[in-house]
A and B are shown apart, each in its own frame.
Chain A
Amino acid sequence: MYRSHVLVCGGTGCTSSGTPKILECLNEEIGKAGLTDEVAVVQTGCHGLCALGPIIIIYPEATFYSLVKPEDIPEIVNEHLLKGRVVSRLVYEETVSEDGFTSINDTDFYKKQHRIALRNCGIINPENIDEYIATNGYEALGRVLTEYTPDQVIQTVLDSELRGRGGGGFPTGLKWKLAKANDADQKYVCCNADEGDPGAFMDRSILEGDPHVVLEAMAIAGYAIGASMGYIYIRAEYPIAVDRLNMAISQAREYGLLGKNIFGTDFSFDIELRLGAGAFVCGEETALITSIEGNRGEPRPRPPFPAQKGLFQKPTILNNVETYANIPPIILNGVDWFKSIGTEKAKGTKVFALGGNINNTGLVEIPMGTTLREVVDEIGGGIPGGKKFKAAQTGGPSGGCISTDYYDIPLDYDNLISIGSMMGSGGLIVMDEDNCMVDIAKFFLEFTVDESCGKCTPCRIGTKRLYEMLEKITSGNGTLEDVEKLEDLCLYIKENSLCGLGQSAPNPVLSTLKFFKDEYIAHVVDKKCPAGVCKALLSYVIEPDLCKGCTLCARHCPSDAITGKVKEIHVIDQSKCVKCGVCMEKCRFDAIFVR
């Protein structure tokens, strides 16, 4: 029996900030202090506050330590675990109050969150099936198999109005119903864990922190549509998630929660993993299915839809990780509970990955309909350096930007689409006044050019041409005509591409054109980059009144672009300047400016 549990975050974020070393130190120090029998060290999944990792929580006091370093471990063990004195300097400052420490759940970051999909992340040990069971795990599967007919399961999911959390927002229950209606000797349940949007990592966190929830939900789906086999398609770039899933699958098989005659019924179900090689297009459902079949990951036209002819030409459902994570709680807590959260048209919660220029980088799960302002200013802790909010990019390379005009827009599927963005998988990148919107559009286009599979012409060649036009604009050679052509080409690609990748690839351009056309105009007409990002449009100049003629800049210039003698005013030759900014950094008199 342990008197204290030390929870160490083992998500990818904290792992890369040093969790393995911390675990090693903890076990060593706890051993030295003779506390091995009294204190349990538990590696958990992600807590969401990745910016403050590595994170350690010590129970029963629920003390939240952030930014822990291996050197701090002896102090934590000897002071906190042995003598019961909290190491104040390491406690997350938001939980420190005048009269002691407050619960982590009362901090700005967690207060407004409502954790359904992430409910077990950071709380249980993902490598121990018993801990999942202790939080009512597999209860939903047991109840479904013994008390529900497949139609009742589908009706429950339909009634909950759960919509896909991976991008499109298609009603999950409807997908299941369509697959159920098609008779076949074999059907399949697939899980899309090929999370490819730059900046989105909620699926990874669920798989790392609570892998059993996905297995349980897939088995429920299998029972509902009449499938006995499931595949999880996961990126090979998620090694921790792959390990934990493999571990979870073998534990579930051992307990008979996967395999034959689950819960003593006739229902049998098994799951296997398929690793993806990191192609963005494989997140598209038909390309993913083609890849599981062992072929090159390319999309194919729909119809037929996967629910009719999917994997190996059999009826197949494909849901995203976060969608599955909502299924067991809906079964256990009921449809009314789920529908009480969120907005009229979007029920439940959504996990967002907060990134970019924001203080609390990390994962947040919020009720649908929370405003962008609440997410950025309150949960996200605002923008570092007191800079001004300019835009938020949602939906990754398929989404668009939200400008300050829509700062109070409630975030849900329809609202985001109405302003030319999309929910996508939930990446939310915050940008401040120092970000150039043309450059951002170019960044996402560069990504889609790389990731276009090449099967259809509009996407393969169209995105490349789009990228070249943006390149032309950011290098100062664009014309107003280019800006018009840009928009035409965007619309053409959207209409004519084969799959979601091409159809949504122009979104970053279209939405920046919509909200920040003035920036495009500034690039082509004034040949200026208002945010000072596009190098070709910047020029470094020396202010004659301030230059003392110290020669420091000239000596450091790598391209010999600065001329001038000692105690004479120096001049930068614009034709030679490579815009590296070294002169400005070196100048002691702040005499060099960017124009």
Chain B
Amino acid sequence: MKSLDELKAIREAMQAQMGLRNEEGDKTRLVVGMATCGIASGARPVLKVLSDTVMERELTNVMVTQTGCIGLCQYEPIVEVVEPGKDKVTYIKMTPEKALEVIDQHIIRGQIVSKYTISETIG
């Protein structure tokens, strides 16, 4: 170890991963339906792409988590975006590509991707 900067580089690289264990602050939650119906229609790759992207872009205030079946099996894979103080947004029939769009548009830019939401697609 030759300098504090070198130490800082290691620290920041590691903190991105350890952020997962931080319980503080109001986080946005990305919830993926991972019951049998969800998994069967392809929720696993969606979950994977969401968690990878959150880490890669260092979105420290976002946590990716799962839930069970919410009863809308025909619309799986379902991803819910729960932002503190806002209404929950439910995206249906997700794919890894669509999930990326949700992160880009909704999480980063704050614009809901209406074409995939449950309220727009099935009214």
Q: Which residues of A contact B (CB under 8 A)?
A: 1-5, 7, 37-38, 59-62, 82-85, 103, 105, 123-124, 130-131, 133-139, 142-143, 146, 255-257, 262-264
Contact = CB atoms under 8 A, between A and B. Distances in A.
Contacts of B10: 130, 133-134
Contacts of B47: 3, 38
Contacts of A4: 20, 51
Interface stretch (B32-40, B87-95, B102-110, B114-122): B32-40
A538 to B, nearest CB: 52
Contacts of A136: 11
Interface of B: 1-4, 7, 10-11, 13-15, 17-18, 20-21, 23, 31-36, 39, 47-48, 50-52, 55-56, 63-68
Contacts of B3: 142, 263-264
A264 B2 contact: yes
Given A83-B34, A138-B1, A263-B2, 10 more contacts: A2-B51, A3-B52, A59-B20, A82-B39, A83-B39, A83-B66, A133-B14, A142-B4, A146-B4, A256-B2
Q: Tell me the interface secondary structure of chain B in the complex.
A: helix
Contacts of A131: 14, 18
Contact of A134 (B2, B15, B51, B68): B15
Find the residue from A61, A134, A255 having the highest chain B CB count within 10 A.
A134
11 contacts: A2-B55, A7-B21, A38-B48, A84-B32, A84-B34, A130-B14, A133-B7, A133-B14, A142-B3, A256-B2, A257-B1
A131 B14 CA distance: 7
A61 B11 contact: no
Given A2-B51, A138-B7, A84 B67 contact: yes
A83 to B, nearest CB: 5
Nearest to B1: A256
Given A38-B51, A60-B64, A2 B14 contact: no
A247 B23 CA distance: 29
A3 B54 CA distance: 9
B30 to A, nearest CB: 10
A101 B14 CA distance: 28
A508 B4 CA distance: 50
A343 to B, nearest CB: 28
A65 to B, nearest CB: 15
Contacts of B15: 134
Nearest to A139: B7
Contacts of B65: 60-61, 84
Given A59-B21, A60-B20, A133-B10, A1 B51 contact: yes
